[in-house]
Amino acid sequence: MDLLHTVILTVHVIATLSIIGVVLLQHGKGADMGAAFGSGASGSLFGATGSSNFLSHLTAVLAVVFFLTSLGLSYIATSAPRTSGSVMDSVPAQTAPAVPAQRPELPDSKAKDIPK
């Protein structure tokens, strides 16, 4: 179960970082207006409108992968075997000493040597 958890968690992190990257690559709503005035956005890698379709589909696929791995991780977390009892049950019991320790006698104080 630990191997499955590690694999799903790795896919989850990769999907998360990929979603962040793909969303940052997409054009905003105002990018089309800038392309009309010659800012160079129309000469992108996928053409003037090709990137929006590809990147939106890729974002949808990555979102589905993200949600599925989230559900898988939550299922693994809730189906793990639980131990009954408290944390203190695993601590070994300590026994108190039978005879309490005697306090050592304090040496004679110097207060009686002080003149009044």
Domain limits at 29?
2-80
Q: Is residue 102 part of a domain?
A: no
Q: Is residue 90 part of a domain?
A: no
Q: What is the pLDDT along the chain (116 residues), one digit of tens a residue?
A: 789 999 999 999 999 999 999 999 887 766 555 555 555 545 555 555 555 688 889 999 999 999 999 999 999 988 877 666 677 777 777 776 666 666 666 566 665 666 66
Number of domains into which the chain is organized: 1
- Is 111 buried (19+), middle (13-18) or exposed (0-12) by CB count in 10 A? exposed
Q: Is residue 112 part of a domain?
A: no
Q: Is residue 110 part of a domain?
A: no
Q: What is the model's pTM?
A: 0.55
Q: Is residue 56 part of a domain?
A: yes
The DSSP secondary structure of 44-104, one letter per residue, reads STT-SSHHHHHHHHHHHHHHHHHHHHHHHHHHHHHSS----S-GGGGSPP-PPPSSPPPPP
Q: Is residue 111 part of a domain?
A: no
Q: Is residue 22 part of a domain?
A: yes
